Amino acid sequence: LTHSGPFLSLPAPYGNSSGTAYTVPTVTNVGGGTGSSGSNTNSNESPVTTFSNYLGTFNEVESPYAKYVTLDRGTADSDYAQEYMTLRIASNAPQKITVSGWRIESTASGLGTTLPGATLLPNMGDINTNAPVALSAGDTAYIVTGRSPVGTSFRTNMCTGYFAQFQTFKPSLRLDCPSPEDEAARVMGGSYTDACHDTVNSIDRCDLMVSSVPAQAGAACQNFIQSTLTYNGCANAHKNDPAFYRNIWYLYLNRDQELWKSRYERIRLVDEHGKVISVVTY
């Protein structure tokens, strides 16, 4: 099955605004593994690896993406609630690389699935829309076997640490939200009273205040805490900041059981043409 080459950058806002793209040459799939079909009809292509197991013979041709993308084990040998793989984009990648639709699969068990889209800027309390994930040079994506604690795959930002107060993330989210004291100084100005100052100082970074705001802190302070010191309040205030987005993504495969074996495993990442990008064995 022959395909024309895909592009490595998305239209704005997910790709680069100039519309330039890196085109992958036309390729032919090779047979033998889960996620690829047909036979190798291109005599100019040589398999990087040929091996056999009870699932059959695998003839693997290296993907053009292989020089820029690495798959690491993460905790792939843990139970599904802890299980994840790590995908990294090299710092010298020349363009954004669209990874949604690639397949991650085990050549030991035959299990696998495609990488999902994600929400660029999740909004709590709303229905979030997924889009193809385009990773930049130096980006990392955690490919998590289970379901998202917030209902969607997402790119992290300076406010996503709020998600971790009541939900568990593997690997852990960074808690680097703007400090409550800095936010109060920015928002409240002259209405920032001593009593409000004491209350704000008692709130940890990336935490909602779940107890009542003391009456002596004042109505303005209460309104600030309830509207600004939240994920949505933080995101609305800072989404246009130059350093708002982080270079880490969480991509959820939405499985309710383990995907990878605890040992004697071989996991490969293949592109949309069945060519091998990266392989992990343990």
Instruction: Give the pLDDT confidence of 83-97 residue by residue, as tens digits.
Output: 999 999 999 999 999
Residue 16 has pLDDT above 80, yes or no: no
How many Å from the N-terminal Cα to the C-terminal Cα in the chain? 32
CA distance 15 to 246: 16
Highest-pLDDT range among 10-14, 32-36, 89-93: 89-93
If you average pLDDT over each of 20-29, 54-63, 95-104, 210-219, which comes out highest?
Answer: 95-104
- 129 pLDDT above the threshold of 70: yes
To the nearest whole percent, how much of the chain has pLDDT over 70?
A: 83
Structural contact between residues 239 and 119, judged by C-beta atoms closer than 8 angstroms: no
Q: What are phi and psi of 251, to 5 degrees?
A: -110, 120
Half-sphere exposure of 77 (CA within 13 A, CB side): 10
What is the SS3 assignment for 164? helix
**Per-residue pLDDT at 228:** 97
- Rounded to a whole number of angstroms, the CA Rg of the chain reads 23
pLDDT tens across 216-236, in order?
A: 999 999 999 999 999 999 999
